[in-house]
Structure 1
Amino acid sequence: MRGESYFSCCGADRNTPGCCVAEAHVSDTLNAEALREFTPTPPSRGEDDPRNEKVYAMDCEMVYGVWGPELARVSVVDMDNKLVLDLIVKPHNRVIDYNTRFSGLTANQVEASTIDLFEVCFASFLFLVIPDQFKVSRHKTVSSN
């Protein structure tokens, strides 16, 4: 009903105890400024583009840091459901909730990772998609030819 609020996880009224207990409150702080950090996939170069014959599915697991959601794992499978990339990523900020209930990741797994998102994961994914054309970092795209 209008004006009433509910917990999104279980649908319970906000005046009742929640269905979960955590050490910290998690909020959604994603905003337009944060979206400027995203780098689009390069456009197709036409019919001869080798990416036209490749199909991948990507799944990302998120944890909640002090500044909002952060990537903690990226997995990619090809069109034959073969795992081609599975990396646990070290979040940039202090994690307040590992979201283990949904992500399956534990604090030990995430904290043990030394993989940085922009140095390895994104570059690795685009390396799979565009094997010999580009190397990608957080702020630039460099031709490897």
Structure 2
Amino acid sequence: MTEETYKKLWRLKLHQLDLETYGFPRNHPNNPKRAVLGISQRPQPQQEPHESDSSDSEPEIIMDRCSRICTRCRILFKVDKEGRPKRQLCRYHPYHVPYKKKFRCCGRKKHAEEGPCKTARQHVHNQLAPEALENFKPTRDNLIKAKRIYALKCSHVYTEKGIEVASVSLVDAFCSVVYETKVRPESNILDYDTEISGLRRHDLANIQKTLQDVIEDLNALIGPKTILVGFRLQRDLTSLRMIHENIVEVTVLYPHKWAPRRTHSLYFLRRNFLSLENIRAPLKSREEAITAMKLALHRM
């Protein structure tokens, strides 16, 4: 990384008001260990073939302890006192947004008699409990003073608590892996969300690394002068309980020209701006971190 690259990316980072507007975790005004999420005005993602973002969508704070909203089908469903969802069949379209009045995943019309094309054994959600905003650590308190550029991406799975981090990848400006690990979720896994996360049961079978271990590892690498690049990075930082100031957000660098309330998928951006159909890597989180870094450098 050169000083010139750092300066160019620094000019692309989000300002303080932007971080609040796009819903990044910010310091609570009265509690230094608690975070608040800005009122996100981030557009909904423009779905593209081969890529959905159900677990990557904007988090919502749980308002009703007895019910949740299914991320896939948007139906309200019941949970028990511990927040565990009751078994109920879920029917949904992997790509929520119809294209020319037809869903990309199956070609069916929006109100077709056949209904959604996919079926899951139960509903899932990505809503946050209020206590999920506790114990956040601002990276400005870390001891690393060097100027660094990293791209960060997490993959998530659905658990009884909602969604939890299952893999983390951190790459540098040369797209070399700086840190990468799989993570053992705290709660029982309900769905591996393989279409999105790229993970299956055997990938997490014997993993002992916990989220707290990962947070400590990342805080040893990321400092107040580090620039973090990402695609929908708000979700990842919230999952990692991290508050960071220097953010380069790919969805802001590449706005949707014809529909301001939407954003392009990572697949679309990779195909159209990098002329790459795919990037092969052992973990999907690494593929997406590399793609995000390449897109940020391309925008310079």
2:132 matched residue in structure 1 = 34
Change (3 A) 1:16 1:83: same
State the match for 1:126 in structure 2.
Answer: 219
Of 127, 142, 156, the residue aligned with 1:62 is: 156
Match of 2:145 among 39, 50, 60: 50
1:9 equivalent in alignment to 2:107:
no
Question: Unmatched 5+ residue regions in structure 2?
Answer: 1-73, 75-91, 98-109, 224-300
TM-score for the superposition, normalised by structure 1: 0.70
Q: Answer yes or no: is the 8 Å Cα contact 2:142–2:220 preserved in 1.
A: no
2:187 corresponding residue in structure 1: 93
Shift of 1:9: 3.1
SS in 2 for 1:50: coil
Q: Does 1:102 align with 2:196?
A: yes
Contact 2:168 2:181 in 1 (8 A): yes
Q: What is the CA–CA distance in structure 2 between the aligned matches of 1:85 and 1:110, rounded to whole Å? A: 18
- SS for the counterpart of 2:140 is coil
Cα gap change, 1:50/1:21 in structure 2, threshold over 3 Å: closer, same or farther? Answer: same
Corresponding residue number in structure 2 for 1:138: none
Q: 1:61, 1:14 → 2: CA distance?
A: 32
Specify the code of the residue in structure 2 equivalent to 1:80.
F
In structure 2, the CA distance between the partners of 1:14 and 1:38, relative to structure 1 (3 Å rule), is farther
Tell me which amino acid in the other structure corresponds to 1:27. H
Which range moves more in the overlay, 20-29 or 81-90? 20-29
User: More displaced, 22-31 or 74-83?
Assistant: 22-31
Residue of structure 2 in register with 1:71 after alignment: 165
* Contact 1:23–1:96 (Cα < 8 Å) also in 2: no
Shift of 1:44: 7.5
Provide the rounded CA distance (Å) in 1 between the counterparts of 2:129 and 2:111.
26
Equivalent residue, structure 1, for 2:118: 20
How much identity, in percent, do the aligned residues show?
29
Change (3 A) 1:13 1:37: farther
Aligned amino acid, residue 94 of structure 1: N
- Provide the C-alpha distance between the structure 1 equivalents of 2:112 and 2:182, rounded to a whole number of angstroms: 34
SS of match in other structure, 2:195: helix
Q: Post-superposition shift, 1:87?
A: 0.5
Return the offset for 1:20: 2.3
Q: Give the C-alpha shift of residue 26 in structure 1.
A: 0.6
Q: TM-score w.r.t. structure 2 length?
A: 0.36
* Equivalent residues of 2:93, 2:118 under 8 A apart: no
Instruction: Return the letter of the residue paired with 2:137.
Output: T
Q: Is the 8 A contact 1:90 1:115 kept in 2?
A: yes
Give me the whole-angstrom Cα distance separating, in 2, the residues matched to 1:37 and 1:54: 25
Structure 2 CA distance for partners of 1:80 and 1:36, relative to 1, 3 Å: same
1:88–1:55 Cα change, 3 Å: same
Larger RCO: Structure 1 or Structure 2 (Cα < 8 Å, ≥ 6 residues apart)? 2
Q: Counterpart amino acid of 1:123? A: E
